[in-house]
Structure 1
Amino acid sequence: MLRVALGSRVDLSFIRKLGEMNFGLLLLLCMIAGIGCAVLYSAAGGSFDPWADRHALRFLVGLGLATAVAMIDLRTWLRWAYPIYALGFALLVLVPILGVVGMGARRWIDLGPITIQPSEIMKIGLILALARFFHGRALDEIWKIRWLMIPIAMIVLPVGLVMKQPDLGTAMLLMAGGGIVFLLSGVKLWKFAVAIVGAAAVVPVAWGLMHDYQRQRVLTFLDPDADPLGAGYHILQSKIALGSGGILGKGFLQGTQSHLNFLPEKQTDFAFTSWAEETGLLGALVLLGLFLLLFAYGHAISLRSRSQFGRILAGGINGLIFLYVFINTAMVTGLVPVVGVPMPLISYGGTAMLTLMFGIGLMMSVWIHRDVTIPRHAGGLGG
């Protein structure tokens, strides 16, 4: 009898949490992922194989993952924050040893049936760990530089490992994502100014340490016409595709730049360009508008949380998704150098998709458990 009663309570709790899911957010995700499937279907010349069908399957798996993550109590994620960060860091350490080379870089670990990119896992792990560290800390502690040494090290160490792969785009996202968490936690703006000045001071040193292709990307960004058939080819073709789309686009399955293979990486880095060529400025604005609604949902979730951990976690993940969208859009329009940052739910990629949906699940967990209060220093070391 007791077992039946306990089982009923568990079932009712699960059903109640399922009813608390933010279905508006889920609908937005489905709409954006649907556009992603359409882009990949068109990029393959009107075929679900090889990209659109896998993209759809990964999204459905990701939805299941996000739902499972959302059901787990926020206090459990607080306890698991450091172990998840440690797992991501350990996998990054293993990349030079067990990693496989692809597209000129060693970024992936082959586990047989699947291939994972540890740097993607680290993006979420870093935000979790930083939110855990800053949870419950008073502003007078955060304002002291000595308190910031540990979280700075938590950012710098994985960034160094990612730079060795090399993967400049992911390293930038890790630093920027960590900076967003610092900002949400109450770190004073003058410290960011000092960090920016310090970064500018080491630019000459960083330039000397960069790989040749990375320096070439920067030079191409400054003057893409200097090598239109070489280093500047990607961005010039992207601009041609964007411009030729006009206001209303060329029509679905009618994009010439992508279908005639002038546009490189049309299924990954330049998937947004493929969409804009066929749907024009109007279609591009519709997609960006959907992302804007997604950011609004994430911001509202962050504000509604009663725990500092929940507020920082949801805000950090929302900020990370914003960085993805902003950098990819700026990259394909020539506003920043090409750094290989995908468009969330649009670009083809397995680890990136599942990692993003894991992050969405964490945001949903914050929403479902928004009224949960977490005492300061709950869960052990670090706050």
Structure 2
Amino acid sequence: MRRFVFSLLFGGSAFASLMLISAEIGAVRGADVVGPFLVFYSVVYILGQVASLAGYQRGPYLVAQNLDAAGRLKPRAGLEAVLWLGIVLGALLVWLGGDTSVALYGAGAVLVGIQFVVSGVANGLGRFVISRLNFVIVPNVIFIVALPFVAVDAMRLYALCLAAGAGLGLIALRLIGWRRASGPVVVGQPVKVLDFASLVVTILVSSISQLDLWIVGLFVSGQELSYYAFASRMTVVLTFPVIAYINSIQPVLASFVAATDRASVQRIFGRSYRAVRLMVVGLGVMAPIFACVWGYMVFGAFEWRIAAVAAAASIGYTLSALVPPFEALSYARGREGRYLPHVVAGIVVQAVAGIFLVATGLFYLLPVVGGLVLGAIRYGMRRELDHPDH
């Protein structure tokens, strides 16, 4: 419970920093810059999953399988060298590349990927504070402080802040000696780093809540894009209870699976999840009101388009949260690759429906489609509860 509460607090801090970023960009660089920046922000964080080989989700299990007798990560020296090299190369690519070039997106993805790895390793070492601060919060805070004083394109500046945040995370790991806070944990079957199907499933499931913004970003521009991007990101707070729950159960879930503790696994995805579901429903009622009020502060007027997207996002995120996050159980058992056809089908449905809604001018309903797709995918993964290995 303590870990869940702390995860909620850190998630709230990350969300608050994104709120400040949107307002600051609107005030310093103009409202039309808000939309493109939020699209960039969304894209690099999902591409970072690819660059890190889903390092945040898989990191805790990989760490647990590679600890020495003293609780220190065995390949720490080589891993640290590779990550520092990635930070340096990513920062150079940002500095030398164009303001909105493919190189900038690629560098941003690499730097986010390093953040994912650092956060996943820190989480596996039981260093929860380092993991959560390094992930989103530190780069966002650096960006908020630097934006008014640095005359650099907002996207390039944020990418450089990602490099700074990743570097600080590595320094923190060096200071603690890459050592686990408590004794080694029991894990299930080994996690394969290069298991293609599992990686694709992990990345695609994470991208479902972002895909609607990418589709709108491809076909819509100007204020319409800024309104959509703003409203969809300002209601992402609805995902925090589920994300916090996944973060809180990861350290123990693999142990329950390895010990074939069926009762504990069922409790995690049954009775214990009820409070999370109620939180999301409560937030779903308040989020559209909050988005409209904050939108008035950022854009200087009430926009019905912000209200429409926020309401659709609240419905979509609430629908997805009605089903427990069974993907966490598939990660713990190393079986997520089995659901690749199921997940790909859901993404295709979401993409086709999204393009249709854009073509008909109804793209404000896109978040509802994303919520239904994610809920259906999670429902399909519920069979993990009845797997004979439990």
Q: Structures share a fold, TM > 0.5?
A: no
Q: Place the TM-score, normalised by the shorter chain, in its bin.
A: under 0.3
Greater share of helix? 2
Higher relative contact order (CA 8 A, sep 6+): 1
Name the TM-score, length of structure 2 as normaliser: 0.27
Which has the higher Rg, Structure 1 or Structure 2?
1
